[in-house]
Amino acid sequence: MKSFIYTLPLLLFFASCHTEDDSSKMVVSGNVKGLKKGTLFLQVIPDSTLVNLDSLEIRGDGNFEFVTDVPEPDVFYLYLDNADNNSLNDRIAFFGEAGKYQIMTRWDAFEADATVNGTENQKKYEEFKENMSRFNLKQLELSRALRTSQIAQDSIAVDSIGLALDQSLRRKYLYTLNFAHTHKSSELAPYVAWAEIADANPKLLDSLYRALPADIADSKYGEKLKEVLENQQ
């Protein structure tokens, strides 16, 4: 994903939703083991642009804490800029909402070794990501095997692996749909459908959208899923 990153004052970004009530606050704390120097950013994508909500400069201590108002559940990111000229694997995604989150990781394996403890929706999000990683790994393995067979001009292997790829993709889509239906009372449902299977059969997506409770259908990703359906007409 290519996007420009703009830093906005936290209070301005959520000014319209600000409240003195802690019920809308998200607290993200934790430790980046071994981090002596760098900058941590709390980020979100409100529309189509990645935005820095807050930042913290680390000097000799990897402990951190961010507190922000959350108008509705969304996917947030903890990003580490440690001046290594490599933005890959330096961003941890989590499903954020009002509540407390603890993120523990290491500076040299920032995303790979991260553990995120938080709300029940975060637990469900981790489950979903783990299963999607398995699907994606399987598809990567099959794609590599397909290229090898194509180079060798092995038409029988090409047909067989191509069929396996289609079946793997179909299982991935069915898993995502089943996950969304199972968790239809959570903002996770429209999010995973929009993020992972926006090109699925419109009838299946429409069935999911119609099954969403009114408050979920009116949420950020409920509206995005609705836009996908309208664009498919």
pLDDT tens digits for range 69-78: 999 999 999 9
Q: Is the pLDDT of residue 102 over 70?
A: yes
Beta strands in the chain (DSSP E): 6-7, 25-33, 37-44, 51-59, 63-69, 74-81, 91-96, 99-106, 115-117
Q: Is the pLDDT of residue 60 over 80?
A: yes
Residue 103 bridge partners (DSSP) = 30, 116
pLDDT value, residue 7:
45
What pLDDT band is residue 6 in, cutting at 50, 70 and 90? very low
Cα dihedral 49, 52, 53, 58, rounded to 10, equals 160
Residue 26 bridge partners (DSSP) = 68, 99
What pLDDT band is residue 2 in, cutting at 50, 70 and 90? very low
Residue 33 bridge partners (DSSP) = 106
Q: What is the pLDDT of residues 109-139, one digit of tens each?
A: 999 999 999 999 999 999 999 999 999 999 9
Q: Is the pLDDT of residue 19 over 50?
A: no
The label of the residue with tokens 């934790």 reads 30
CATH 2.60.40.1120 domain extents, the chain: 6-118
pLDDT value, residue 88:
55
pLDDT value, residue 10:
44
Closest of 168, 122, 119 to residue 143, by C-alpha: 168
Average pLDDT, the chain: 89
pTM given for the model: 0.85
- 82/219: higher pLDDT: 219
Output the six-digit token pair for 122.
């975060």
What CATH superfamily is the domain 6-118? Answer: Carboxypeptidase-like, regulatory domain (2.60.40.1120)
pLDDT value, residue 92:
96
pLDDT value, residue 8:
45
Average pLDDT over residues 142-152: 94
